[in-house]
């Protein structure tokens, strides 16, 4: 007995109405089986009512067995009435294996092959009916063509378990808490899993080369270093410095020195021009300013037991035959004191002027002025008043 199925359109409509997310793919099939009518060449009639074993297969081309994409799926004892037969394709072997091989299977034109097992013996070969019935991708309207046949569960997970399509409000993007399957702890300091508070490990940061004014900064081994020749003189901060000197003539005669009044802060004056004081003016850019007093001071000494006020020009305290001197200095910026120091001198009493050097770094400080032009001046404090000679340089340099 030979059968020829009638071309049908209910296949596509059935598929569209019975597919939903969260369910397996099932394709309702309805066909009309016919056979040649005896004595009427070219005419067909419905097959006798009864039960038949029918095999279904899906191909990607209208002819040839090498294009088999699914099946065959055997349906046994299908009831046929007036030639009409109904079946649910995928209800026996499913479509999982076929979809794993090709996620876009149902978004392309397919061809359904039908074979009737005439003798009911699955071990004997039977001829497939021709032609194969075309299956158009109407399902793409359901699967959303831009998903390329994938399902929601391929992209989302349910926070409470189960199918994310059933409760999309409770779904999270798959691997939302991962970085390609890795934990945040793989790249955060201390193995932290909280990217909102932890720092990224240094060995996980790849800093690209940086170009600063056409000068390359490289990062060998993950460390930034300036390329040879990358820093030139014009790239450096401006060298800003200034200094002033007061140079007295050396004289052993006390009366040749300019005296300070004592008991108050006074400017260090020039020997010959009283209006000249030890000061320096510097224009700054806002960076810190280093200040230093360099040189020596000559203190005329004599018998500390006499009442001559000129013999106690500074805070002079007698210890047996040794005199201890304390000299007080302060630095002013624009008339305001920014630094004060005391310099101690121990020495033998002699009847002549004695010169003491100020050790380098003894009187120095760092000031933090705003950008602008500033005047720095040195003052000295004499307890009792005496004549002193100074050979000093006030040095100012912006750091």
For residues 56 and 110, the answer to whether their CB atoms sit within 8 Å is no
- Shared domain for 258 and 394, answered yes or no, is yes
What mean pLDDT is predicted for residues 378-396?
66
In a domain, 231, yes or no: no
- Shared domain for 95 and 178, answered yes or no, is no
- Shared domain for 17 and 140, answered yes or no, is yes
What mean pLDDT is predicted for residues 84-98?
92
pLDDT in tens, 125-174: 888 888 888 887 655 455 555 566 666 677 777 766 777 766 767 776 66
- Shared domain for 111 and 10, answered yes or no, is yes
Residue 336 to residue 343: CA distance in whole angstroms: 21
- Shared domain for 49 and 185, answered yes or no, is no
In a domain, 341, yes or no: yes
Structural domain of 184: 174-204
How far from the centroid of its chain's Cα atoms is residue 183's Cα?
17
In a domain, 69, yes or no: yes
Residue 281 to residue 369: CA distance in whole angstroms: 13
The confidence band for 280, taking pLDDT boundaries of 50, 70 and 90, is confident
Give residue 16's pLDDT. Answer: 40
Among residues 248, 247, 243, 249, the alpha carbon closest in space to that of 279 is found at: 243
The confidence band for 218, taking pLDDT boundaries of 50, 70 and 90, is low
pLDDT in tens, 325-368: 556 788 999 999 998 877 665 544 444 455 556 665 567 889 99
What mean pLDDT is predicted for residues 294-323?
44
The confidence band for 220, taking pLDDT boundaries of 50, 70 and 90, is low
Backbone angles phi, psi at 195, to 5 degrees: -70, -10
Highest mean pLDDT of the ranges 35-49, 187-201, 217-231? 35-49
- Shared domain for 373 and 302, answered yes or no, is yes
Give residue 259's pLDDT. Answer: 44
- Shared domain for 79 and 129, answered yes or no, is yes
Number of domains in the chain: 3
| CATH number (domain holding residue 51) | 2.60.40
- Shared domain for 56 and 184, answered yes or no, is no
């Amino acid at each position: 007995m030979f059968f020829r199925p009638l071309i049908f359109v209910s296949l596509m409509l059935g598929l569209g109405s019975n597919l939903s997310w969260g369910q397996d793919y099932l394709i309702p099939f309805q066909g009309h089986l016919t056979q040649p009518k005896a004595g009427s060449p070219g005419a067909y009639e419905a097959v006798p009512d009864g039960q038949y074993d029918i095999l279904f297969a899906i191909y990607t081309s209208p002819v040839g067995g090498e294009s088999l994409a699914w099946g065959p799926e055997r349906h046994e004892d299908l009831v046929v009435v007036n030639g009409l037969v109904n079946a649910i394709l995928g209800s026996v072997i499913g479509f999982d294996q076929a979809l794993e091989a090709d996620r876009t299977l149902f978004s392309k034109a397919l061809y359904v092959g039908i074979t009737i097992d005439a003798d009911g013996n699955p071990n004997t070969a039977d001829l497939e009916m021709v032609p194969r019935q075309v299956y158009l991708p109407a399902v793409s309207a359901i699967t959303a063509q831009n998903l390329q046949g994938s399902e929601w569960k391929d992209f989302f997970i349910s926070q409470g378990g189960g199918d994310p399509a059933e409760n999309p409000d409770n779904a999270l993007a798959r691997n939302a808490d991962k970085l390609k399957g890795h934990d945040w702890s793989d790249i955060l300091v201390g193995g932290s899993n909280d990217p909102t508070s932890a720092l990224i490990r240094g060995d996980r940061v790849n800093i690209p080369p940086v170009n600063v004014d056409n000068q390359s900064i490289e990062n060998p081994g993950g460390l930034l270093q300036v390329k040879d020749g990358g820093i030139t003189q014009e790239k450096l901060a401006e060298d800003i410095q200034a200094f002033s000197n007061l140079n007295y003539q050396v004289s052993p005669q006390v009366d040749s020195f300019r005296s300070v009044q004592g008991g108050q802060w006074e400017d260090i004056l020039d020997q010959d021009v009283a209006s000249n004081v030890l000061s320096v003016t510097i224009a700054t850019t806002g960076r810190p300013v280093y200040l230093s007093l360099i040189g020596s001071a000559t203190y005329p000494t004599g018998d500390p037991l006499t009442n001559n006020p000129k013999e106690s020009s500074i805070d002079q305290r007698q210890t047996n035959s040794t005199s201890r001197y304390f000299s007080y200095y302060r630095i002013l910026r624009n008339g305001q004191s920014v630094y004060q120091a005391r310099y101690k001198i121990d020495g033998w009493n002699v009847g002549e002027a004695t010169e003491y050097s100020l050790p380098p770094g003894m009187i120095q400080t760092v000031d933090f002025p705003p950008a602008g032009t500033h005047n720095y001046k040195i003052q000295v404090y004499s307890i009792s008043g005496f004549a002193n000679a100074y050979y000093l340089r006030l040095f100012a340099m912006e750091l």
